[in-house]
């Protein structure tokens, strides 16, 4: 599960973690939590929420670089370090508009770091606010940059902090 954007007010939205909790409880899988721009605070909160909901295995995967690629890297490292040798598929939980880029990065990082192929099962979250057009453009550009080998080399405009109407 990837921690989500703060697009529902002051508190971290719980739509992704709640969706992930339902999936891992039903399938009796470990839950990896990654993606946190708040130095691990959200991962800790969501870890506690999952434990309280009865998830048997919760694995935090924090990387201070704060991007989808580093999240995929952190989860892949945890799978390798914890020797989840029988794990052969990843149920990736993220918002529907983020899934294509995230799934591709996870697939590649898992293959590179763990050294074997995993099946990525998209578990898209479809509730929540619809993102602005800038989010769609960022996602498409991020995937194109990643596929071209230049991911992370251009500045990204955060649509939740950037409001053209407020610019001088």
Residue 165 in any domain: the answer is: no
Q: Is residue 108 part of a domain?
A: yes
DSSP state, residue 16: H
Q: What's the whole-model pTM score?
A: 0.86
Residue 65 lies in a domain: yes
In a domain, 28, yes or no: yes
Residue 51 neighbours by CB under 8 Å, 6+ apart: 58
Residue 27 CA: distances (Å) to CA of 31, 91, 114, 157: 11, 10, 22, 37
Residue 7 belongs to some domain of the structure: no
pLDDT in tens, 87-110: 899 999 999 999 999 999 999 999
Q: Length of the chain in residues, anyone? A: 168
Percent of residues in the chain assigned helix, strand, coil, to nearest 5: 45, 15, 40
For residue 92, the domain's CATH number is: 3.40.50
Q: Which domain holds residue 96?
A: 15-132
- Split into its structural domains, the chain has a count of 1
Q: For every one of its 168 residues, what pLDDT tens digit does the chain have, with 9 covering 90 and above?
A: 888 888 877 778 899 999 999 999 999 999 999 987 778 889 999 999 999 999 999 999 988 888 899 999 999 999 999 988 888 999 999 999 999 999 999 999 999 999 999 999 999 999 988 888 888 899 999 999 999 999 888 776 665 555 444 333
């Amino acid at each position: 599960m990837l921690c989500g954007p703060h697009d529902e007010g002051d508190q971290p939205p719980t739509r992704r973690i709640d969706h992930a909790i339902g999936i891992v409880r039903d399938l009796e899988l470990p839950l990896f939590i990654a993606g946190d721009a708040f130095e691990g605070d959200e991962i800790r909160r969501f870890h506690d929420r999952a434990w309280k909901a009865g998830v048997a295995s919760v694995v935090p995967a924090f990387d201070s670089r704060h991007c989808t690629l580093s999240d995929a890297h952190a989860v892949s490292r945890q799978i390798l370090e914890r020797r989840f040798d029988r794990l052969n598929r990843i149920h990736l939980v993220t918002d529907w508009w983020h899934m294509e880029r995230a799934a591709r990065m996870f697939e590649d990082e898992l293959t590179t770091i763990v050294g074997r192929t995993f099946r990525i099962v998209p578990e898209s979250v479809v509730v929540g606010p619809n993102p602005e057009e800038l989010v769609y453009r960022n996602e498409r550009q991020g995937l194109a940059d990643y596929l071209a080998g230049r991911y992370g080399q251009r500045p990204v405009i955060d649509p939740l902090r950037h409001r053209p109407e407020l610019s001088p």
